[in-house]
Structure 1
Amino acid sequence: MKLFKKIAFVFLIIIVLFCLGGYFYFQKKFTPPENYLKVSGIAENIPIKWISSNENPHSALLLPIEIKGINRTFYMQFDSGSPVTVFYKKSLESIAEKFQNQLKIDNENSSIYSAFKIGKMNVASNDFGILDYGEKINFDNPNAENIIGTIGTDLLEKRITVLDFKNSQCSFIEKIKEDDFANFEFKKRKILIPSVIENENLKLLYDSGTSGYELITTKEIWQQYRNKNSAIKTEKGNSWGNTLSVYSASAKKKIQFGKVTLNLSEVTHIEGTSDLQKFLMKRSGMQGMIGNKLFLNHKLILDCRNEKFKLE
């Protein structure tokens, strides 16, 4: 009997250590790195540029930027689902080839020291990450949408962000009078906004990388919210090179953010995400993601540092 108790105790210790190890592994893996951005100045009324794909006119939101020392306008995608600002390797290599000595790419550590401007706001870092992604720059076409990277929520941590979708403008400012602002969660640089649909409280991740969709949720909630017998639109999505199956259907619901109520006319679910992503979604307590499409006729103000937001 004593031997059995000792064996059971050893197994219990192993299970506890395994659980603790898993916890610290996930904490380390999904905790964003320190925010190394150095930001000065502000950017006001920066024009938003939309990318269209298939039948979706708002599939991505781009902001114009200038790299220090290069008199050209490039674009970076505004992605509130990314906790870090990164550049694309293939795009940078073609810039470095044309403008020698302006960019210092550290291929060994997949990072770069650089600085760029959005309006009158300067953003610099000794350690911008680089993804093996992107396309060569088209220098011959002055109207080309040369996308060289992604702006993440590390920038939003440094400035109050005003997304004026109604007037297709964006601002990054330092101060604003916060009347009638509501709370949201800013965990691991993820923006989790509270909402209400049919008297049910939901926590939704604002991910502008899913720009052209109103609400992306689980298949079960998708079945609950969509109009029955409505046509299902099927698309292929791309997440950093991974192909996803995207299913959208019409809906007729009301969704409330703070004191503002919007019409939810479409609901979407995605297949092809990993079991790990599904697990993390459940662990975070969020019930779905919202993109930019839901806010197209409104202004969204995000103060990530103080976890306050307002929808006008």
Structure 2
Amino acid sequence: MKLFKKIASVFLIIIVLFLLGGYLYFQKKFTPPENYLKVSGIAEKIPIKWISSNDNSHSALLLPVKIKGISRTFYMQFDSGSPITVFYKKSLESIAEKFQNQPKIDNENLSISTAFTIENMNVISDTFKVLNYGEKINFDDLKAVNIIGTIGTDLLEKRITVLDFKNNQCSFIEKIQEDDFVDFEFKKRKILIPSTIENKKLKLLYDSGTSGYELITTKEIWQEYRNKNSVVKTEKGNSWGNTLIVYSASAKKKIQFQKTIIHLSEVTYIEGTSDLQKFLMKRSGMQGMIGNKLFLNHKLILDCKTEKFKLE
């Protein structure tokens, strides 16, 4: 009997250590690094540029930027699903070929020390992460849209963000009168916005990387929300080089954010995400993702420092 108790105790300790180790692993893996951005100045009413793909006219939201020492305008994708601002290796390498005085990529740590500006706002870091991604810059075409990186929510920690989709403008400011603002969650630099659909309270991840979709949810909820016998649109998506299959169908639902009601005309689900991603989605408490398309006729103001937002 004593031997059995000892064995049971050993197994219990092993299970506890396993669970603790798993918890610490996930905490470390999915906790974003310290915010090393140094931001000065503000940017007001910056024109938004949209990328179109197939039948989707709002598949990505781009903002114009300039790199220190180069007068040419480049673009970075605004992605509220990314906790850090990153640059694309292939794009930077082609810039370095043309402009020899540019900072060199630290290939060992895949990082770069540089600065970029959006109007009068300057963003500096010694440790911008560099992804093995992107395309060579087309310097021959002055109208070419050359994308060199992604702006993440680390910048949103430094400035209040005003996304004026009505007028296709974006601002990063330091102060605003926060009348009628309400709470949202900013966990691990992820934006979780409270909403209501058919009297059901939901927490939805605002991921502008899924720009051209209104609501992305599970297959089960997709079946529930979509119009029956509606045509299903199928397309391929891209997540940092990984191919996903995206299914969208028409819907007639109302989604409410604080006092603002938006008509949901389309609902989407995605196949190809990993079991780990699905697990993390459930663990975070979110019931879906919303992109820019849902807010096209509205203004979204996000203050990530105070975790307050307003939708107009």
Secondary structure of the equivalent of 1:104? coil
Question: Which residue in 2 is equivalent to 1:309?
Answer: 309
Question: Following TM superposition, by how much is the alpha carbon of 1:101 offset from its aligned partner in structure 2, in angstroms?
Answer: 1.8
Counterpart mapping for 1:6-85 below 5 A: 6-85=6-85
**Deviation digits for residues 60-109 of structure 1, max 9, x if unmatched?**
00000000011110000000000000000000000011000222211111
| CA distance in structure 1 between the aligned counterparts of 2:94 and 2:230, rounded to whole angstroms | 46
1:297 maps onto 2:306 in alignment: no
* Partner Cα distance (1:285, 1:43) in 2: 33
DSSP 3-state at the match of 2:136: coil
Question: Separation in 1 of the partners of 2:68 and 2:136?
Answer: 19
Counterpart check, 1:251 vs 2:251: yes
Amino acid in structure 1 at the alignment position of 2:16: V
How far apart, CA to CA, are the structure 2 residues paired with 1:36 and 1:233? 41
Q: Distance in 2 between matches of 1:22 and 1:108?
A: 28
Residue type matched to 1:252 in 2?
K
SS of equivalent residue, structure 1 residue 4:
helix
- Looking at structure 1, the residues matched to 208 and 124 of structure 2 have their Cα atoms a distance apart, in angstroms, of 23
Residue 234 of structure 1 aligns to a residue whose secondary structure is strand
CA distance in 2, matches of 1:65, 1:284: 33
Matched, 1:136 2:133: no
What CA deviation, in whole Å up to 9, does each residue of 1:192-241 have, x standing for no partner?
A: 00000000000000000000000000011111111111110001000000
Structure 1: distance between partners of 2:96 and 2:297: 39
**Equivalent residue number for residue 228 of structure 1:** 228
The residue type paired with residue 41 of structure 2 is: G
Provide the C-alpha distance between the structure 2 equivalents of 1:101 and 1:69, rounded to a whole number of angstroms. Answer: 8
Residue correspondence of structure 1 range 259-298 to structure 2 within 5 A: 259-298=259-298
CA distance in 2, matches of 1:99, 1:255: 49
Q: How far 1:165 moved relative to its partner?
A: 0.4
What SS does the corresponding residue of 2:129 show, helix, strand or coil? strand
TM-score by length of 1: 1.00
Indicate the RMSD between aligned Cα atoms, in angstroms. Answer: 0.4
Structure 2: how far apart are the matches of 1:176 and 1:104?
38
Q: Quote the Cα distance in structure 2 between the aligned partners of 1:309 and 1:296.
A: 17
Q: Following TM superposition, by how much is the alpha carbon of 1:44 offset from its aligned partner in structure 2, in angstroms?
A: 0.2
Aligned to 2:243, the other structure's residue is in SS state strand
Identity within the alignment, %: 85
CA distance in 1, matches of 2:96, 2:258: 46
How many pairs were matched up? 312
CA distance in 2, matches of 1:220, 1:305: 35
Counterparts of 2:73 and 2:57 in 1: how far apart (Å)?
22
Cα displacement (A) at 1:30: 0.1
Shift of 1:151: 0.1
Secondary structure of the 1:106 match is coil
Matches of 2:203 and 2:273 in 1, distance apart? Answer: 19
TM-score normalised according to structure 2 size: 1.00
Rounded to whole Å, the distance in 2 between the matches of 1:42 and 1:36 is 18
Q: Which sections of structure 2, spanning at least 5 residues, go unmatched?
A: none
Q: SS state of the match for residue 9, structure 1?
A: helix
Counterpart code for 1:66: K
